[in-house]
Chains A and B, each alone.
Chain A
Amino acid sequence: MLKQVIDRAIAEHFQTDEKELYDLNLGPSHPATHGILENRVKLDGERIVKCEAHIGYCHRSFEKLSEHYSYNQVITITDRMNYVSSMANNIGWTLAAEKLLGIEVPKLVQYVRVIMLELNRIIDHLIRTGILGVDAGAYTGFLYFMEQRERAYKIIERMTGARLTTTFGRVGGLDKPLYPEFKEDILEWLKPLPKVIKEFHTLLTRNRIFIERTRDVSPMTEARALEYGFTGPNLRATGCNYDLRKHEPYSSYEDFDFKVILGTTGDVYDRYMVCMDEMVESIKIIEQAVNNLPDGPYHADVPEIFLPEKKDVYSNMEAMIYHFKIIMHGINPPVGEVYQAVESPNGELGFYAVSDGGPNPYRLHFRSPCLYYYQAIEEMLEGGLIADAIMTMSSINVIAGELER
């Protein structure tokens, strides 16, 4: 009698239609998530059945802050967005402010911006591909790339005085003239890069384990990626030809000859290969820009916007008046609104600025590419293995600082 009751109870207990799912928090603080990102996943064995992404652990309210900063001070905020390639953010914002003010900057400034944008693209892709290798278990390549990144920081440090928080450039030009050995330094830095990239290719690209870990993992179709608002390398990996440098050229990108790298399926392997090949194209652009670097002033001739040189402030009456005006009253653009986007290493980084004619932006919105990638993560992870989740999160290169601003 008792045995029957127990048997029935056991049978009832195990004969439920619902499978018992295992809840797991991937993140927020986990070495494999690269930033403070949280994914609450429901697991059936090793397979992810449901995923819910939560963000907000790194929010610093930049949009509110920038409403109380002057146009040049906002550059310091943009440093802290994508800290892996902060100069791209600085340049993006200065371009947006210049569009609002209607300033045309000299050719030299445009070329230097192109050089620094591409240098930042390279160092971003160096860490991005390197980290993907680390997540797959191949640590060696990462070290090859970090060495080159460190050498790039020497140049950045020499130019701006900082490594990560660069605050490069001002509204209307560069903050100071180029240092004398700039050209040589850049060319010297470029010299070993093709060889290092080739070495990295031999480590990973044909590696059987790496291919098995990345091929057909979390693929994305072109139409779906466009709907989600994908841009940059992640969109190009799906085969969609969209590169702001070609399609909406800014800062003299139309002068340079380069290819847009396209993938086919938009899986992790394609994203990796697009980034690797983009570095080679960036090297080409930098070489063209450095070899054709024009002479000229390092800022536009806009005394009411660009701060005069310090020695003029002390000796020249006019310069002192402008210095006082800019410091005390700030830059006052006309009433209006503008949307300016740059092809940052991560994708389309847009700045939507509304001016009410005052010294601060009335409203400033950062269109960060990461937000649009990361909202697709739920769709990308569901149905996949938990080990693939790590590779997917690493491959779309979500930077928490840019995601949450």
Chain B
Amino acid sequence: MTRDELNAKLKEDLATLAGDKAISLEMNYGMLVLTIPAELHHKVAEWAYNDEFWQFNHFIDITAVDYLKLHDDYRFELVVHLRSHKHNLKFRYKTRLAGDDPSIATLTDVYAGASWTEREIWDFFGINFTGHPRMTRILSPDDFVGYPLRKDFPVKGQHRGTFPRGTVVSNKRREAVTSPQTKPKPADQMLPRTPWEIRREPLRGKENGNA
């Protein structure tokens, strides 16, 4: 079967699987993309792995996108890429999640490879995966505040964390001190003063007529 025939057949199969719950099912840059509501997320992965004909046994990727205030009915979208080694075919499915702190079933019971990427999504987007064996932060420190890849998180960070000098970093939890970020100085104050300014310093008050 050629790539186009396979995609056509997969489109039929996915349409019957998702039924009328499918939000959209279309070709996008040569890859079939299925968009589904949250309750089908685990079901599609399970079907993809266990289906006799397709055997989507190669886990490629899972990530999330934050559409803050762009859409009314959902905020996050989980994006999963799966590949069938038998047919050498990839497809993508996107799951829409509503609410600011969503929660969804994990895929680790189907694909072992989803483990760390789901932790990364929890770390960066704050999407909780229920049933995950170790739902902790992975790349940022355990006591980090906020979810950095959300669109409402400023790129400079919310807090400036410092590690106090001489503290022993324990295995369980790092003792980090967070302080509110101080406002940076205006650019002209950060420049070193010129001799011209230094010499005129004593005169400044006199010019204003104070002395």
Q: What are the residues of chain B within 8 A of A64 when measuring CB–CB? A: 148-149, 153, 155
Residue pair B61, A352 in contact (C-beta under 8 Å): yes
Q: How far is the CA of A396 from the CA of B206 in the complex (A)?
A: 73
Residue of B nearest to A338 (CB): B29
| Interface SS of A by simple majority | mixed
Cβ-based interface call for A315 (8 A):
no
Q: What are the residues of chain A within 8 A of B191 when measuring CB–CB? A: none
Near B by CB (< 8 A), chain A positions 235-256 give: 240, 242, 247-248
Residue pair A365, B63 in contact (C-beta under 8 Å): yes
Return the CB mask of A262-303 against B: 1 if under 8 Å, else 0: 000000000000000000000000000000000000000000
Q: How far is the CA of A281 from the CA of B53 in the complex (A)?
A: 34
Cβ-based interface call for B59 (8 A):
yes
Residue pair A229, B85 in contact (C-beta under 8 Å): no
Q: What are the residues of chain B within 8 A of A404 when measuring CB–CB? A: 139
Cβ-based interface call for B194 (8 A):
no
Near B by CB (< 8 A), chain A positions 326-350 give: 336-339, 348, 350
Q: What are the residues of chain B within 8 A of A56 when measuring CB–CB? A: 137-141
Return the CB mask of A361-378 against B: 1 if under 8 Å, else 0: 011010100011011100
Q: How far is the CA of A348 from the CA of B61 in the complex (A)?
A: 11
Of B61, B92, B116, which contacts A375 at CB under 8 A?
A: B116
Cβ-based interface call for B65 (8 A):
yes
Q: What are the residues of chain A within 8 A of B63 when measuring CB–CB? A: 352, 365, 367
Q: What are the residues of chain A within 8 A of B139 when measuring CB–CB? A: 55-56, 59, 404
Number of contacting residues on A, CB 8 A? 41
Near A by CB (< 8 A), chain B positions 65-85 give: 65-66, 70, 79, 81, 85
Residue of B nearest to A354 (CB): B65
Of B66, B111, B153, which contacts A229 at CB under 8 A?
A: B111
**Given A63-B149, A64-B149, A336-B29, is A240 in contact with B60 using a C-beta cutoff of 8 Å?**
no
Q: How far is the CA of A15 from the CA of B112 in the complex (A)?
A: 38
Q: What are the residues of chain B within 8 A of A183 when measuring CB–CB? A: none
Cβ-based interface call for A224 (8 A):
yes
Residue of A nearest to B88 (CB): A247
Residue pair A367, B88 in contact (C-beta under 8 Å): no
Q: What are the residues of chain A within 8 A of B116 when measuring CB–CB? A: 371-372, 374-375
Q: What are the residues of chain A within 8 A of B29 when measuring CB–CB? A: 99-100, 336, 338-339
Of B92, B111, B112, B148, which contacts A339 at CB under 8 A?
A: B92
Q: What are the residues of chain A within 8 A of B66 when measuring CB–CB? A: 363
Min distance, Cβ B119 to any Cβ of chain A, angstroms: 9
**Given A55-B139, A336-B29, A339-B92, is A229 in contact with B58 using a C-beta cutoff of 8 Å?**
yes
Q: What are the residues of chain B within 8 A of A59 when measuring CB–CB? A: 139-140
Residue pair A339, B81 in contact (C-beta under 8 Å): yes
Q: What are the residues of chain B within 8 A of A350 when measuring CB–CB? A: 60-61, 81
Cβ-based interface call for A325 (8 A):
no
Q: How far is the CA of A338 from the CA of B31 in the complex (A)?
A: 9
Min distance, Cβ B35 to any Cβ of chain A, angstroms: 11
Q: How far is the CA of A258 from the CA of B29 in the complex (A)?
A: 27
Cβ-based interface call for A223 (8 A):
yes
Near B by CB (< 8 A), chain A positions 207-245 give: 223-224, 226-229, 240, 242
Return the CB mask of A138-182 against B: 1 if under 8 Å, else 0: 000000000000000000000000000000000000000000000
Kindly list 10 other residue pairs between chains A and B, CB separation below 8 angstroms, not including A65-B155, A356-B70, A372-B116.
A40-B171, A63-B124, A64-B149, A224-B112, A248-B88, A350-B60, A352-B63, A365-B61, A365-B63, A375-B113
Q: Which 9 A-B pairs have the closest CB atoms?
A: A229-B113, A375-B116, A59-B139, A229-B59, A56-B139, A365-B63, A228-B113, A367-B61, A226-B58
Residues of B within 8 A of A (CB): 28-29, 31, 57-61, 63, 65-66, 70, 79, 81, 85, 88, 90, 92, 111-113, 115-117, 120, 124, 137-141, 148-149, 153, 155, 171
